[in-house]
Amino acid sequence: MEKVKCECGHLNPYGTYLCESCGKPLKEEKGKVANMRYEGVARRSQTYKKSPVDLVWNFFSSVKVGIWIIVLLLVTSSLGTLFPQEMYIPPGENATIYYEQEYGLLGKLYYQLGFHNLYSSWWYMLLIASLGISLVIASLDRFVPLYRALKTQRVSRHEGFLKRQRLFGESNKIDNIDEEIQKAEKLLKEKRYNIRRENGNLLAEKGRFARWGPYVNHVGLIIFLIGGMLRFFPEMYLDEHMWVREGEHEVVSGTNGEYFLRNNDFLIELYDEEDEKYQDALSRADGPVVKTYQTSATLLKRTSDGTVGSETELEEIKDYDIRVNDPLTFEGFSLYQVDFKLNELSEFTFTLESETVDADFSDIEFTVNLNDPQKTFEFDNGYRVEIMEYFPNFIIDDNREPTTINRIPDNPRIIFEVFPPGANEDEGEISLIGIQVNEALNGENDHTIRMTGAEMVDVTGLTIRKDRTLPIISLGGIIFMIGFIQGSYWHHRRIWIQNREGTLLLAGHANKNWQALKNDFQLVSDNTHIPLPLDQTDKDNKGVSQDDDRTK
């Protein structure tokens, strides 16, 4: 498309309606006041409206569309808080029935519509994606031309431009116009305006950089959204869980078996019920209130001697007290205190006795480590005890077979086989032993295994987290805040004062907060002979302040 040449000599892109350089209106427009939206520059979305690319571009560059996207996000987000999301329902509950059972028909509907996982649903993702696209396109569509126009603007503006500003005034009764402009310049300089002069004309401008605020904050948001998206790529994000028993160490998953964590001690501290300070609140609380959860841990690293099959050597890297709000971090990993289990069974101690056999059993005492039981126990007097089967978490399954739910010794049962001296392989006495359980399995037994002790440990539950998107997300957040503040705590104002053959022309424009601009004019007119400009929208606006319409 051909460019438009203004009478001042500037070549404007096709579609411009106020000359970028002198401001002369290049198109007829209704109304007294020029549409200063984006300085009257040509924007792609306003100029090209035919090809499919144009249509998509124009759709996403529209603020109306942008607003709709945000409103949809806002409304759908609120629906997701009606009932808890799936991740917040009590552990072990089945979502398929939980929602209906707890919340009735509405709950069932909630589940069927997928609202129990709303924030990861495809259509919520789609909304966020459209928000991102809209941000990019709307910003590009406006930023480039606006930047050009603000950069190429001249001090001397066309009369038609000044007359059609919202704040406009003129006077031909001033004797020495140049002197008055000089005085105004001084006043405005004190108000920290940037002043440019050209042929006796003046342009005072302040806070132009605030115009870039929205673009900076939109860029920050885009970076933030990209950061959020990266989480779904491998290696970027890790969310694992580990349980470590006191005195033991476990591998930190995600570290390729390189790091281990030892739990030296787990501790819970409660608030003291006697403490006068908290007495009122504690008496109101349902139970004791926890003051601290803490795992005293040691981080271990495998030393790389590399020989296969050799005993792994672990080197202590650091000691750390992991607490809620105080994770242990190393090499991008963080270990968080999130869970615990007190008094998990760890060891049983047994003795053997008999009412019928006359033998010395006083030396027979053995300990079964419930997490890693030894298979056979042999004794000096010739006795032998074997573990035939071990169920750490015993249950009778649907086929009425004994089995174990998992490897955690919550309900341990052991099937022992006792061999008296000289007994054959098939002559063992078999019994099933657990807490308050002691059953002979193959008829009457001559010997009884008696449990004499049980050891317990505390187990700490830690979350292992690695999130490589954090730097990107933080960068986005910082840029967003900078732009947000830049665009909100400053605003762009301009004052033009020109001497046109003995007539003083005066105009002002702000893209918001007109009151502040008017105050500046007041200051000038109080201290010079320059008149106050009139607000050309005063008559026909009914108490509505009019900024430029930047939505179209």
Among 11, 56, 67, 405, binds another protein (CB under 8 A): 67
CA distance 47 to 32: 23
Q: Which long-range contacts (CB under 8 A, 24 or more apart) does 477-480 make?
A: 477/220, 477/224, 478/220, 479/216, 479/217, 479/219, 479/220, 479/223, 480/217, 480/220, 480/221, 480/224
Instruction: Residue 346: name its binding partner from another protein, ligand HEM, none (Cβ under 5 to 8 Å by kind).
Output: none
Choose among 329, 305, 323, 306: nearest CA to 252.
329
- Cβ-based nearer residue to another protein, 237 or 361: 237
Window contacting another protein (CB under 8 A); options: 194-202, 257-265, 461-469, 526-534: 461-469
User: Which x/- pattern, by CB under 8 A, does the window 474-503 give for another protein?
Assistant: ---x--xx--xx--xx--------------
Among 47, 171, 292, 393, binds another protein (CB under 8 A): 292
Structural contact between residues 365 and 349, judged by C-beta atoms closer than 8 angstroms? yes
- CA 142 distance to own-chain centroid: 29
Residue 36: CB minimum distance to another protein, A: 12
Residue 182: CB minimum distance to another protein, A: 29
Q: How many residues bind another protein (CB under 8 A)?
A: 65
Residue whose entry in the numeric block shows the structure tokens 């106050």: 532
Window contacting another protein (CB under 8 A); options: 185-193, 279-287, 297-305, 520-528: 279-287
CB within 8 A of 157, min separation 6: which ones?
Answer: 22, 23, 203, 496, 498, 507
- Cβ-based nearer residue to another protein, 238 or 370: 238
Choose among 200, 196, 183: nearest CA to 526.
183
Instruction: Residue 69: name its binding partner from another protein, ligand HEM, none (Cβ under 5 to 8 Å by kind).
Output: ligand HEM
- The verdict on 545 binding another protein (CB under 8 A) reads yes
- Cβ-based nearer residue to ligand HEM, 78 or 406: 78
CA distance 522 to 262: 73
Among 51, 78, 424, 436, binds another protein (CB under 8 A): 78
Q: Which long-range contacts (CB under 8 A, 24 or more apart) does 54-60 make?
A: 57/137, 57/141, 60/130, 60/133, 60/134, 60/136, 60/137, 60/138
3-state secondary structure (DSSP) of residue 231: coil
CA distance 17 to 31: 14
Instruction: Residue 289: name its binding partner from another protein, ligand HEM, none (Cβ under 5 to 8 Å by kind).
Output: another protein
- Cβ-based nearer residue to another protein, 231 or 407: 231
Among 58, 217, 460, 536, binds ligand HEM (CB under 6 A): 217
- Both tokens of 480, joined, read 């967003």
User: Which x/- pattern, by CB under 6 A, does the window 137-176 give for ligand HEM?
Assistant: -x---x----------------------------------
Choose among 465, 443, 523, 444: nearest CA to 184.
523
Among 16, 21, 134, 486, binds ligand HEM (CB under 6 A): 134
Among 56, 106, 113, 290, binds another protein (CB under 8 A): 290
Task: Output the CA torsion sign for 189, 194, 196, 202.
Answer: negative
- The verdict on 408 binding another protein (CB under 8 A) reads no
Among 63, 127, 128, 359, binds ligand HEM (CB under 6 A): 63
Q: How many residues bind ligand HEM (CB under 6 A)?
A: 17
Residue 248: CB minimum distance to another protein, A: 23
Among 127, 470, 475, 534, binds another protein (CB under 8 A): 470
User: Which x/- pattern, by CB under 6 A, does the window 471-510 give for ligand HEM?
Assistant: -------------x--xx----------------------
DSSP-derived letter for residue 61 is: H
Among 32, 183, 208, 550, binds ligand HEM (CB under 6 A): 550
Residues 218-257 that bind ligand HEM (CB under 6 A): 218, 221
Residue 281: CB minimum distance to another protein, A: 5
Instruction: Residue 52: name its binding partner from ligand HEM, another protein, none (Cβ under 5 to 8 Å by kind).
Output: none
Q: Which long-range contacts (CB under 8 A, 24 or more apart) does 394-403 make?
A: 394/434
Residue 446: CB minimum distance to another protein, A: 50
- Both tokens of 341, joined, read 């289990």
> What stretches of 153-206 show up as alpha helix (H) in DSSP?
159-163, 177-190
CB atoms within 10 A of CB 201: 18
- Cβ-based nearer residue to another protein, 394 or 480: 480
Structural contact between residues 522 and 516, judged by C-beta atoms closer than 8 angstroms? no
The helix-helix angle for 177-190 and 514-527 (nearest 10°) equals 130
CA atoms within 13 A on the CB side of 69: 22
Structural contact between residues 430 and 442, judged by C-beta atoms closer than 8 angstroms? yes
- The verdict on 201 binding ligand HEM (CB under 6 A) reads no
> What stretches of 117-174 show up as alpha helix (H) in DSSP?
122-152, 159-163
Query: In this structure, what are the phi and psi dihedrals at residue 467, rounded to the nearest 5 degrees?
Result: -140, 100
Residue 70: CB minimum distance to ligand HEM, A: 6
The site for ligand HEM (CB under 6 A) is made up of 63, 66, 69-70, 131, 134-135, 138, 142, 214, 217-218, 221, 484, 487-488, 550
The site for another protein (CB under 8 A) is made up of 63, 66-67, 70-71, 73-74, 77-78, 80-81, 84-85, 87-88, 119, 239, 271, 277-278, 280-282, 284-285, 289-293, 323-327, 334, 336, 338, 463, 465, 467, 470, 473, 477, 480-481, 484-485, 488-489, 512-515, 541-547, 549-552
